Structure 1
Amino acid sequence: MKLLQRLTLALLTLGAAATCQAGTGLMELPGLPGDGPVTVFYPSSGADAPVQRGPFQLQLAWQAPPVQGNGRLVVITHGSGGNPWVHTDLARAMVAAGFVVALPEHAGDNSRDPSTPGPESWKRRPAEVSRAIDAVARDTRLAPLLALDKVGVFGGSAGGHTALTLAGGAWSPTRFRQHCEAHIADDFSSCVGFITRLHGNLLDGLKKWLALAVIRHRFNDDTAYTHEDPRIQAAVASVPFAADFDMATLAHPRIALGLVTAGLDVNQVPQFHSSAVLAACQDRCTHVAHLPGASHGAMLSPMPPLHLLNDVQTALLGDPPGFDRKVLPEVDARIADFFAQHLQPLPAPQR
């Protein structure tokens, strides 16, 4: 019976996506007052053409007319210091399946302004996702093509933290501090970000002491932060930061929850983050994909050119030797399938 339901959903999705679609549209919407722009990928009647965004030359239909897809919206919440373009391949796969995909720019934690990453950003991000949905709902070109009673969210790293919050997880800055106090050596990059790494030399002790001094000074708030948006009905968290969650709140996710994990993640060490979430939710969440030979940056696709990354970023985000990015289209397809199952795409309109 489940197989029949999945095949039916897939046929509905493909039927909707095929309606007059020629390319992957791209537009930028103004965010609500105080917010940055919302980048939107969507099914379009326009033809793809080269579009330059930062170091990336992408094949997209800039500001081309939108057409009916499957009637569902998925919001992608980027990682720390991120931008829409490193999620273009996933967005294109989602559009090919009929979805409209929106990416808000998270304040103080994006490639243009990376000034306040970590818990300060994590407090803001879920509401920024909700306001991105509102921004799409206000657009007269997109709103008539969507039913926003069932919206999906995909997020990686800090975006994965946001996805877990939207799935019903409760976290606190105090839990972040306690994790770092207990595991500063074993999960150093989770606590300090892309500032520096431990190298097994005499400076390591000083780095750990300084990091803990800053963390203890800044993160003493034991408020349990949550955010619920009834429109959001499915979420996928990819290599999420998760050590600051009360895992009991993720044991029974509020919505359909999927996880994408990487076996060689050195930025968010799995035992403290993704594996801990999977242990908490067990069969009440879905292990959408596991990439045993991948590290933290696997789902950045296209990957930023390595010459633009510093040594720390390359070590934490770069692909380990032997990892083959040819597996990523299959992972993208699994993510699209997860949302198709749980968001019940609408049938194509009768012609």
Structure 2
Amino acid sequence: MRNYFITGLLSLAAAYAQAGMGFTELPGLQADGPVTVFYPTLGEGQRIQKGPFSLQLDLQGPPVRGNGRLVVISHGSGGSPWTFTNLARTLVDDGFVVALPRHRGDNHKDPSSPGPDSWKLRPAEVSRAIDTVARDPRFALLLALDKVGMYGMSAGGHTALSLAGGRWSPAQFASHCGANIAEDFQTCVGLITRLTGGVFDGLKKTVALAVIRQKFSDATWLVHTDPRIRAVVAGVPLAADFDMDSLAAPPVPLGLVTARQDKWLLPRFHSDRVLQACKACELVADLPNGGHGALLSPPPPADVLSPLAQDLLLDPPGFDRSALPAVDRQITAFMRKHLLP
């Protein structure tokens, strides 16, 4: 009997090692956008074109049992699922099912409401993405949803910190910008404009602060809890508007990925503040030469980005993308450590 058991395990392991990555889109709940799902499958798939990306995926391939756990990924501002495909593949190779909700008003098809208006909605959209996967009969029997992992990058990192127990407010965002508009300008205005050192910089800061203070005056602390989420990693997160006391002792394991050359979300205002406040948090990976877009893998082609977005998202000189597979493995190892029995 023991030999049959060992043989069965070895056969399962061999099949598992050869598994491909399945892909499907599920309709979101409550008028949410679609939820993209990547998962283990035995099919090799084919090249599929998604916007500027050519990806090897098994479209609608039948799922096979992996490790029984789900990880949700929250994309950054204006983002899409496709720039997280390499991380998703590493997670899928390790047996995880991966779900990516399309965040309302702040995605590659609809960038109309970035910033705090989107940040208010995102955590609940992550919870509903879990519900969406749970309702699909292809996945319902393959997953145990009492321990779900969550990863978010940039604005998705803000979502991750919220789901790790952090509280924030629009007024705190306005307060941060009021105190640091010159040094952290891109956090406050996004891709609308930039400071150039020219004569109009003062006017840009004055106008930006007037709009921010008028629009984001609500001092209500915003929180969202989902007891199913039991491990969180925040990659280059927007964090300056959080009450750091709320992140000092997160109720779930919280890891961070940082990029020292980030010009959009300067680490000293964001990820470093979280690490300083949270002594139990784990620095999952640090990219000393990485910019804000280092964790986008595959990265967006330069010709689809504005000149400002190119400057903020494309890799700075000296950054070697061959480091990214190791980062993906470290994120996956964090999830395995905290989600698997």
Does the 8 Å CA contact 1:17/1:97 hold for their aligned counterparts?
A: no
Unaligned runs of 5+ in 2: 1-8
Structure 1's consecutive aligned runs of 4 or more residues displaced over 3 angstroms after TM superposition are 15-21
Q: Which of 308, 314, 317 is the aligned partner of 1:318? A: 314
Is 2:146 the partner of 1:149?
A: yes
CA separation of 1:305 and 1:320: change in aligned 2, threshold 3 A: same
Amino acid aligned to 1:313: A
Amino acid aligned to 1:197: R
Q: Distance in 2 between matches of 1:226 and 1:79?
A: 19
Written as runs of structure 1 = structure 2, the 5 A alignment for 1:3-152 is: 18-19=15-16, 21-152=18-149
2:328 corresponds to: 332
Is 2:217 the partner of 1:217?
A: no
Q: TM-score, normalised on structure 2?
A: 0.95
Amino acid aligned to 1:85: W
Q: Distance in 2 between matches of 1:331 and 1:34?
A: 34
Pairwise CA distance, 1:48: 2.5
Amino acid aligned to 2:92: V
Pairwise CA distance, 1:236: 0.3
Pairwise CA distance, 1:203: 1.2
Is 2:262 the partner of 1:265?
A: yes
- SS in structure 2 at match of 1:60: strand
Amino acid aligned to 2:152: G
Q: TM-score, normalised on structure 1?
A: 0.93
Does the 8 Å CA contact 1:16/1:98 hold for their aligned counterparts?
A: no
Amino acid aligned to 2:317: P
Amino acid aligned to 1:219: F
Does the 8 Å CA contact 1:81/1:111 hold for their aligned counterparts?
A: yes
1:175-198 deviations in whole A, cap 9, x for unaligned? 000000000000000000011111
Pairwise CA distance, 1:33: 2.7
Written as runs of structure 1 = structure 2, the 5 A alignment for 1:186-225 is: 186-225=183-222
- Larger RCO (CA under 8 A, 6+ residues apart): 1
Is 2:292 the partner of 1:296?
A: yes
Amino acid aligned to 1:300: L
Does the 8 Å CA contact 1:298/1:319 hold for their aligned counterparts?
A: yes
1:74-117 deviations in whole A, cap 9, x for unaligned? 00000000010010000001000110000000000001001001
Q: Distance in 2 between matches of 1:179 and 1:304?
A: 30
Does the 8 Å CA contact 2:15/2:42 hold for their aligned counterparts?
A: no
Q: Distance in 2 between matches of 1:243 and 1:207?
A: 21
- SS in structure 2 at match of 1:298: helix
Q: Distance in 1 between matches of 2:57 and 2:114?
A: 30
- Kindly tell me the number of residue pairs found equivalent between the two proteins: 331
